[in-house]
Structure 1
Amino acid sequence: MTTDTLLVLALVVVAAALVLRRLRPAWYWLTIGAALAMVRVIVRYASVMDACGLTVPPSRLRLTLARLANRPAPASRPPRILRLRPTRTGLVLRVKLRPGQDAFDFAASTDRLRHSFTMHGITSREIKSGVVELRMTGYDVLQRVQMPASIERDGLRVPVALREDGEVHYRNYLEVPHSLNLGATKSGKSVYQRHLVKELASQHVALVGIDCKQGVELAPLARRFSALADNPDDAADLLEALVERMADTYQVIRREQRISADTPDAEITADLWGLPDHLRPVPVVLLVDEVAELALFSNTMERKRRERIITALVRLVQLGRAAGIYVEICGQRFGAELGDGITMLRAQLTGRISHRVNDEASAKMAFGDISPDAVLATTQIPVERPGMAVAGDSTGGWVRIRTPFTTMRQAVNACTAHAHRTPVLEGLEPFRPVLPDLAPVELPAPATATKPATA
């Protein structure tokens, strides 16, 4: 080949790589980006660590030996690389800290490391004492959410979104039994709830819904719901029925404890999950849409109804975990202006998810008491990214996530396909949705082969 031909070919390859990086960043990363990023990190590692102040000066022993040997003073040492491996969205760099270094130094330097290594984002976490893991993302994984082809689903641990570091964000009811989901109109709050129902539809769990918007959000999914209330009056009765179910479950647990000297440790339980399989009631996930509609009132009758609702909700979130009752509360605002008992209710909601909100006060309702940084991150969610949210918990940890877009048709199909899993809950029969039978699907008649005409 001539020089001109090689130059044209090189320009075509570069142009194709740029177009691929623009239109299909995931494909670009898997084919070209990961290899280039690994070379870049290895070549720049020592200088970047030194520029970011993540090196340690030489020890006195090394200085003494250099002085005795009449050699130049040794340079500062960066942390030792334990492992560098690519992932489908970025790189994972694990380093061993030098004596005197702290994991907080790396957490505070993530922005400088991101710029120095030319990566889209870097998060830092301490694996164990003296070992820090840096998760780097090569492109904006939240711009076009693509969940992995194979996702682990295990009972009450279901995938709900994609994290900014490329990992899957799970909703684990056994670790975080109750959660609060805030978001303004068109922020993606309803899509998150819809996707959650779609994932729970295939699990062994009973779904109970309260949708005071006349059921427009949850009624289409009613084939998978064991109970559904679409107005505050029915919601009050439904919540009190759930409290009674919780009390009955505790009686079952008490009967089965039978603690004595010869009782094996494995058979002593204080919650629903320690019961034998044939006695264990089905766990219940309660989804409350637009919780403010349950707390508002305009007359004395509605005020009494509100007190019944808030009292039942507080009891469920305080005592329901051991009885296998988990609560998901959604709303646009959830502050003290909704009346007595709201702050007590919010304090029991360990999980916090906040989509885009209209003001800082709404973000503080979710994270003001646990993480000021999460409040700032919530107020920075752009309008053009519906479904993007900040997820945190009572420990103060938080991460940006984005839910994959789930249409109502996809959620309805999932609920219809798993309608046979819908259990009948004792005491909640009056609230079970009454639905017509599914229309039979008419399949086309099989084509019959025509025999050739014979003379």
Structure 2
Amino acid sequence: MEACGLTVPPPRWRLALARAAGRPVPGPRPPRILWVRPTRTGLVLRLKTRPGQDAFDFAASSDRLRHSFTMHGVVSREIRSGVVELAMTGYDVLRRVQMPARVLRSERDGLRVPVALRADGSVHYRDYRQVPHALNLGATQSGKSVYQRRLVTELAALDVALVGIDCKEGVELAPLARRFSALADNPDDAAELLDALVARMADTYRIIRREQRISADVPDAEITADIWGLPEYLRPVPVVLLVDEVAELALFTTKEEEKRRDRIVTALVRLAQLGRAAGIYVEVCGQRFGSELGKGITMLRAQLTGRTAHRVNDEASAKMAFGDISPDAVLATIQIPEDRPGTAIAGDSSGGWVRTRTPYTSLRQAVAACNAHAWRTPALPELAQFRPVLPPLKTRKVPAPATESAPVTA
């Protein structure tokens, strides 16, 4: 700690006491170790800072600590005032992503699902209750589609309605259609689908308003302004809207397409502004998401709290995700190498960001998960016309094992 500049000189009263008693002068004082916890990827130290130190001192010395401890990476974070935690990893955990075999049930309550692995070895979660809307940005072959598959695979096991918009003729989301309550594969259907979602949101707010019953005899805990405070038998099923290649919804060449485009963007902005309390969560994916897509796009981006940026082709694309949040995240995004698809920078509007990598999820694995949980797919009356019509699943007939007959004896 002294070599890394993380010690403080002894207080003056100790120096005076040592001189008066004729004892050796005490040396610099390092931070006090509260506890040490070994992990499957390295070590975690929790330190009590000395007077005059702050969390920035440890963040600035993280690279020196990495070399001193001969570790692959050191990440510091402030736990509370005066307490800092150092997470040390002994190897590159993002080179070959291995998610923990077991994820605690308490860590994935509600709409909180594990989607990636962080650089410090911890699991990165997508929590829709805490961060309702998010933007997933990335160039071609950057791992953006794998991230989306992983998200659908984890959401398939939850009691949630999945709604998809895939204007690439459905090549990304159509194979997963058995778990989707509604799916649109062209801009015209997408406009109708978004209007139906806006109508559902208005109906949900009417239910919430009817059940508030704000009066003197109603306990505070029973008063709610969103669906999660409603009784379970009245609570509408939450909806996750996945929009793939949002640029296809914003481009136009004719006047009719321009009107359709304004209609689509307006509906998306309404859902992003008002959908959280009604249990509608928006996940937008695209290669670029800037003002060149037309009016209303930056207004929509401002409502997307969560940001995930995979490898991009230029710095301007990284600034679209993190330019208004963190310049350090922009620099980290443009440094993602091409030979590591799935690596991304995940952050939110608070300015914090982490480096993550999504485990590879093949299309067959995602389809198998959706087919296994197809019985969970809720039927939404407002979106009935967009429900995918699919043939029933074919079950493979397993031949009965041959039984050997007993020999006949005289």
Q: TM-score range by the shorter chain?
A: over 0.9
Task: Quote the residue 1:399 is aligned against.
Answer: 354
1:284-323 alpha-carbon deviations (Å, 9 max, x no partner): 0000000000000001000000000000000000000000
1:215-248 alpha-carbon deviations (Å, 9 max, x no partner): 0000000000000000000000000100000000
1:260-289 alpha-carbon deviations (Å, 9 max, x no partner): 000111110000100101110000000000
Deviation at 1:325, TM superposition (A): 0.1
| Partners of 1:397 and 1:447 in 2: CA distance | 63
Task: Quote the residue 2:250 is aligned against.
Answer: 295
Secondary structure class of the residue paired with 2:181: strand
- Asked if residue 100 in structure 1 is aligned to residue 55 in structure 2, the reply is no
| Partners of 1:400 and 1:102 in 2: CA distance | 23
Task: Quote the residue 1:143 is aligned against.
Answer: 95
| Partners of 1:446 and 1:312 in 2: CA distance | 57
| Partners of 1:155 and 1:268 in 2: CA distance | 20
Query: Which protein has the larger Cα radius of gyration, Structure 1 or Structure 2?
Result: 1
| Partners of 1:155 and 1:311 in 2: CA distance | 29
- The equivalent position to 1:120 in structure 2, one of 66, 72, 75, is 72
| Partners of 1:275 and 1:446 in 2: CA distance | 53
CA contact (8 A) 1:212 1:290 kept: yes
| Partners of 1:161 and 1:448 in 2: CA distance | 49
5 Å-filtered alignment, 1:177-326, equals: 177-326=132-281
How many equivalent residue pairs? Answer: 407
Secondary structure class of the residue paired with 2:35: strand
Secondary structure class of the residue paired with 2:2: helix
| Partners of 1:451 and 1:147 in 2: CA distance | 51
| Partners of 1:420 and 1:85 in 2: CA distance | 42
CA contact (8 A) 1:126 1:132 kept: yes
- The equivalent position to 2:315 in structure 1, one of 340, 346, 360, is 360
CA contact (8 A) 1:155 1:204 kept: no
5 Å-filtered alignment, 1:440-455, equals: 440-454=395-409
5 Å-filtered alignment, 1:154-193, equals: 154-193=109-148
Secondary structure class of the residue paired with 1:279: coil
| Partners of 1:78 and 1:395 in 2: CA distance | 31
- Report the AA paired with residue 392 of structure 2: D
| Partners of 1:244 and 1:52 in 2: CA distance | 59
| Partners of 1:441 and 1:355 in 2: CA distance | 39
CA contact (8 A) 1:206 1:283 kept: yes
- Asked if residue 55 in structure 1 is aligned to residue 44 in structure 2, the reply is no
| Partners of 1:90 and 1:317 in 2: CA distance | 40
Deviation at 1:127, TM superposition (A): 1.0
Gaps of 5+ in 1: 1-48
Task: Quote the residue 2:371 is aligned against.
Answer: 416
- Report the AA paired with residue 286 of structure 2: G
Secondary structure class of the residue paired with 2:382: coil
- Report the AA paired with residue 163 of structure 1: R
Task: Quote the residue 2:324 is aligned against.
Answer: 369
Secondary structure class of the residue paired with 1:427: helix
| Partners of 1:230 and 1:396 in 2: CA distance | 35
Deviation at 1:84, TM superposition (A): 1.1
| Partners of 2:350 and 2:92 in 1: CA distance | 27
- Report the AA paired with residue 315 of structure 1: R
TM-score (norm 2): 0.98
Paired-residue identity, %: 79
Greater mean deviation of Cα atoms: 123-132 or 227-236: 123-132
- Report the AA paired with residue 276 of structure 1: P
- Asked if residue 345 in structure 1 is aligned to residue 300 in structure 2, the reply is yes
Between structures 1 and 2, the one with greater helix share: 1
- Report the AA paired with residue 140 of structure 1: D
1:415-438 alpha-carbon deviations (Å, 9 max, x no partner): 001000000112100100010111
- Report the AA paired with residue 196 of structure 2: A
TM-score (norm 1): 0.89
- Report the AA paired with residue 74 of structure 1: P
Higher relative contact order (CA 8 A, sep 6+): 2
Secondary structure class of the residue paired with 1:441: coil
1:313-337 alpha-carbon deviations (Å, 9 max, x no partner): 0000000000000000000000000
5 Å-filtered alignment, 1:326-345, equals: 326-345=281-300
Secondary structure class of the residue paired with 1:133: strand
- Report the AA paired with residue 240 of structure 1: D
- Report the AA paired with residue 110 of structure 1: S
- Asked if residue 378 in structure 1 is aligned to residue 333 in structure 2, the reply is yes
CA contact (8 A) 1:377 1:390 kept: yes
1:326-349 alpha-carbon deviations (Å, 9 max, x no partner): 000000000000000000000000
| Partners of 1:302 and 1:385 in 2: CA distance | 38
CA contact (8 A) 1:198 1:415 kept: yes
**CA RMSD between the two structures:** 0.8
Deviation at 1:205, TM superposition (A): 0.1
Deviation at 1:453, TM superposition (A): 4.6
Task: Quote the residue 1:89 is aligned against.
Answer: 41
Deviation at 1:374, TM superposition (A): 0.4
CA contact (8 A) 1:192 1:387 kept: yes
